[in-house]
Amino acid sequence: MSSTPLWFGPENRALFGWLHLPDSGTARALTILAPPIGIEATHSYANYRLLAERLENLGFAALRFDYDGTGDSFGSEEDPGRLDAWLNSLTEALSLARSLEAPRIGLVGMRMGALLAAVSTLGQKPDFFVAWDPCVSGREFLREQRLVLDVVSGGLREEVGFIEALGTAFEEASANAIRSLRWPRSSEDRPRRALVLTRDERKGDREDLTKLGWGWAEFASLPKEDAFESIAAWIDKAATKKTAVIKPLLNEPRASFDWGEGSIRETAQRLSPYVFGIVTEPEARASGPTLVFLSTGVNYRIGPGRLWVNLARSLAVQGLTCARVDLSGIGDSGVRPGQPRQRNAPPEALADLEDIARALQPDDPRQVIPVGVCIGGYHALEAALRLNTVGVCAINPVTDFNLEQPASRTLRRAVRPRRWLVRTLDRMPFATAVGRHIPTSVWWLLDRVGIQPSPAQPLREVARMAERVLVMCCPEDAAPFTKRGKWVLEHLLKNPSFNFVVDDRLDHLLWTRRSRSAAAELIREFLGPYLKSNSPEPSSSYKRAHSDEASADLRRSRYERQQQAHTA
């Protein structure tokens, strides 16, 4: 099997994708996989790769791609005219399929991707079409996403001029256009065959599509697991067995484009046999260390709400080389021998971190600054400890999780697993309130005698090795450090190169636009010494709390004010 990364479409608005092609160079048809929107695209990424690989095995070519302003494609989700841009992206995907002289063309769309594909196929007459748990309207999509965001963020607080969905935000005009989108009425230009997979609890969707003239399509219940297998099997039966040669792909896995006030280039590359990444560089010569944006949990490399994509490009304009990477077993990376896919914090990631640094900085692997959120934040700390990196940025890092593979415990240096006492507290009703009332002196004693090591201890080791350290947390994620490691932090804050920030604008996985903006602001200020002279000056409040001249007393008083606010 063969899969090739590529950019295609308009030169000034390049789209990123992957072309999957059987080794024979021939295919029965080319299937375009239209992704969902927002966090649903992130969560479905692994399934789309599995579907593409399954289709390869069955003799099909497949094209996975990101719409304009999503994933690794050019643009921002906050650009105007999002709906038209997404539909134009599908048109570009269809044009690419025709330029490759595919004998037949089919489409698969999930959720909003199914709705966009249904609209874009009008007049196109694809050979087959699969609607995978489709959204019947854009209004339904936005309503559901905003309800979920309201729950996970503890109350939706939107910024003026933007409408938020889970993990993304749109201009009001774009949001209104999305709301107006409806499933099209069937016409003579309909696909030759179609399959609609709906959830059993959403029978109304099937009825709505039937009323719109789609009763001719095959309807089925969405399988509970491995829906991609059912879809691939249906396509296998729907398409003819006759094959044709696919025209060789001439696109290169790199793109150059203007971003803000500068020009940058991006290259898709294998950083090791097991790790895939996209490297963003300034067109002019880069300076300073390389930033490495790590995948978050089992989600692929774009970061929360595409934060890594936007940061990598804006920082490249300011002179830094940046790489956003999938650790092995995640996203578009390979797997090491015996490694399962989609495993959170796998022990194999430890070897990945070393491979990434050596690939990006072969002369001095220390010259990297790993950046990560949650488990990605933990991996950033591991990289700093294993490679003695010049810097590290960890957002809401988790350092006290329990290991699925206890044998890997000796390999990990940034974990202090929760032992019986904390695990017992976690199972108790009102566990947070109970833990909050245990005095710090008790936690200090438990740490000293080894009953429950403080989760802040890895920060002490990182501060000894890295030249610059930034740990930022929302109040909830700061609690394990500030309560069960207060004595560690008080000591570390005397070090001018160590920065621990508690910011109530943040949430755990940076779900909201406000949270992502705050994280980006803090990262840029932390990187100030490495940025070109035309980069924004750090705010006065940041310089006062983080400059080399700041006294230990000032740091301690700021920390105590944060603690008092959190306790209140």
Listed residue (323, 381, 321) closest to 349, CA to CA: 381
Distance CA 137, CA 132 (A): 14
What pLDDT score was predicted for residue 63?
Answer: 98
DSSP state of 214: I
Q: Using only the alpha carbons of the chain, give its radius of gyration.
A: 25
Residue 556, pLDDT > 50, answer: no
What pLDDT score was predicted for residue 214?
Answer: 94
DSSP state of 195: E
Residue 425, pLDDT > 80, answer: no
How many whole angstroms from its chain centre is CA 436? 32
Tell me which of 409 and 321 has the higher pLDDT.
321
Name the one residue in this structure whose structure tokens are 């070109």. Answer: 532
Q: Report which residue type is found at 549.
A: E
DSSP state of 224: S
Task: Supply φ then ψ for residue 396, to 5 degrees.
Answer: 45, 50
The strand pairing partners of 244, in sequence order, are 27
Task: Supply φ then ψ for residue 317, to 5 degrees.
Answer: -60, -30
Residue 542, pLDDT > 70, answer: no
Across the chain, mean pLDDT equals 88
Using DSSP's 3-state secondary structure scheme, residue 558 falls into helix
Average pLDDT of the residues in 500-517: 94
Residue 291, pLDDT > 70, answer: yes
Query: What is the value of pTM for the model shown?
Result: 0.90
Residue 450, pLDDT > 90, answer: no
Tell me: the pLDDT tens digits for 60-105? 999 999 999 999 999 999 999 999 999 999 999 999 999 999 999 9
Residue 30, pLDDT > 80, answer: yes
Grade residue 212 by pLDDT with cuts at 50, 70 and 90.
Answer: very high
What pLDDT score was predicted for residue 540?
Answer: 33
What pLDDT score was predicted for residue 427?
Answer: 63
What pLDDT score was predicted for residue 418?
Answer: 65
CB atoms within 10 A of CB 493: 20
| In contact, 291 and 524? CB cutoff 8 Å | no
| In contact, 66 and 72? CB cutoff 8 Å | yes
Listed residue (24, 109, 111) closest to 63, CA to CA: 109
Residue 546, pLDDT > 50, answer: no
Cβ-based neighbours of 96, under 8 Å, separated by 6 or more: 8, 9, 63
111 φψ region: left (φ > 0), alpha (ψ -120 to 50), beta (else): left
Burial of residue 333 (CB within 10 Å: 0-12, 13-18, 19+) is buried
Average pLDDT of the residues in 230-234: 98
Task: Supply φ then ψ for residue 82, to 5 degrees.
Answer: -65, -45
Dihedral sign computed on CA atoms, order 63, 64, 68, 73? negative
Distance CA 303, CA 376 (A): 10
What pLDDT score was predicted for residue 433?
Answer: 59
Average pLDDT of the residues in 139-148: 93
What pLDDT score was predicted for residue 536?
Answer: 43
Grade residue 410 by pLDDT with cuts at 50, 70 and 90.
Answer: low
Question: What are the residue ranges of helices labelled H in 29-137?
Answer: 39-57, 82-99, 112-120
Average pLDDT of the residues in 191-215: 92
Listed residue (39, 67, 27, 90) closest to 243, CA to CA: 27
What pLDDT score was predicted for residue 403?
Answer: 62
Distance CA 230, CA 6 (A): 28
Listed residue (543, 415, 523) closest to 469, CA to CA: 523
Percent of the chain with pLDDT over 70: 88
Tell me which of 189 and 162 has the higher pLDDT.
162
Residue 484, pLDDT > 70, answer: yes
Residue 398, pLDDT > 70, answer: yes
Which range among 78-87, 360-369, 447-456 shows the weakest confidence by mean pLDDT?
447-456
Distance CA 526, CA 435 (A): 32
Q: How many residues does the chain have?
A: 568
Grade residue 422 by pLDDT with cuts at 50, 70 and 90.
Answer: low
CA distances from 260 to 12, 117, 313, 351 (A): 13, 31, 9, 36
The strand pairing partners of 329, in sequence order, are none
What is the strand order of the sheet 2-8 is part of?
Answer: 2-8, 15-21, 61-65, 30-34, 105-110, 128-132, 193-198, 218-221
Percent of the chain with pLDDT over 90: 71
What pLDDT score was predicted for residue 57?
Answer: 97
Following DSSP, what letter does each residue of 407-470 receive, concatenated? GGGGG-SS-----HHHHHHHHSTTHHHHHHTS-HHHHHHHHHHTSS--TTHHHHHHHHH-SEEE
Cβ-based neighbours of 251, under 8 Å, separated by 6 or more: 6, 7, 8
Distance CA 137, CA 115 (A): 7
Distance CA 435, CA 421 (A): 11
